Structure 1
């Protein structure tokens, strides 16, 4: 391909928005990131295969309804395969704080396919594999007053 830099940067921005909209639970914006026939495959991570963007967003929304999440996508390997298609692999780390004092911290990879729809890159297929999942139980959370945080940061 000629100069794929613009498309690669657009796909990086797409995935950045994926993580931000997921963590902020902005479900309408999150839905706009996928093709209508999107497929999510989390079977290698102990999950399932979901067909359809609406079904996927609905599943994620209900699963994370009472959770706080933090997702990071790292070291993207993006290949433009045609004018309207691309593939990517992202290293990932996530933290899911579930009700009931349980935290899940996971590490793995997203393997994805992208399609350009109406001149915008969208996620068409995503497979999540995990290398490791750590669970912490009975995590006692203490909210520190802001002045203590400033004190410790100044030291």
Structure 2
């Protein structure tokens, strides 16, 4: 009887110890799996972030392309929509607050004058999910009708320093500073002729 009780106790203790050992091994396996998976998960997260950054850079490039195109097409209401409501813009000594003010000012200066605006070699850095900054080389060419008090035409070169903000999922320009490096004068055109062909 005594031997039977000892045997039962030994069996129970053996089962308890075996359970503890199996449990410990299982925990180690889970930790080992997590250690293996964590670097993979981190790699995937990093790749996703890099992909998102590349996508954001392309969206900002398209944003700036519209900036140049809308000026040349004189689409001032579309142009105004490219900016945040509190955008700060400094162009040729003029300061504008907001896209609407800038569009109105640019429209009044350029009017119906034919213009050509180009942007090149963008250097765009994504700061975080909602903010970015960029520098663009630029060239703009514009001439006015040759009339009394008409401003002189020019072929200008310089760079834009800008910041961007994502608003409701859409990238917009939040600040612009234009720095001129060179301005070559251009003769204005006879308003009785076509400004493109000169005829």
After TM superposition, the score normalised by the length of structure 1 is 0.84
More divergent stretch after superposition (94-103 vs 4-13): 94-103
Q: Which has the higher helix share?
A: 2
Q: Which of 1 and 2 has greater Rg?
A: 2
1:143 deviates by 2.7
Structure 2 unaligned regions, length at least 5:
1-45
1:18 deviates by 0.5
Aligned counterparts, 1:6-155, within 5 A: 6-42=55-91, 45=92, 47-100=93-146, 102-137=152-187, 143=197
Task: Give the number of equivalent residue pairs.
Answer: 142
1:103 deviates by 2.5
CA distance in structure 2 between the aligned counterparts of 1:32 and 1:124, rounded to whole angstroms = 11
Relative contact order higher in (CA < 8 Å, ≥ 6 apart): 1
Q: Report SS of the residue matched to 1:99.
A: coil
* Structure 1 residues 77 and 27: alpha-carbon distance in aligned structure 2, compared to 1, 3 A threshold: same
Structure 1 unaligned regions, length at least 5:
146-155
Q: Which has the higher strand share?
A: 1
1:133 deviates by 0.4
After TM superposition, the score normalised by the length of structure 2 is 0.66
1:81-138: per-residue Cα shift (whole Å, max 9, x none)? 0100000000000001112184311000000000000100000000000000011235
Two-structure CA RMSD over aligned residues (Å): 2.0
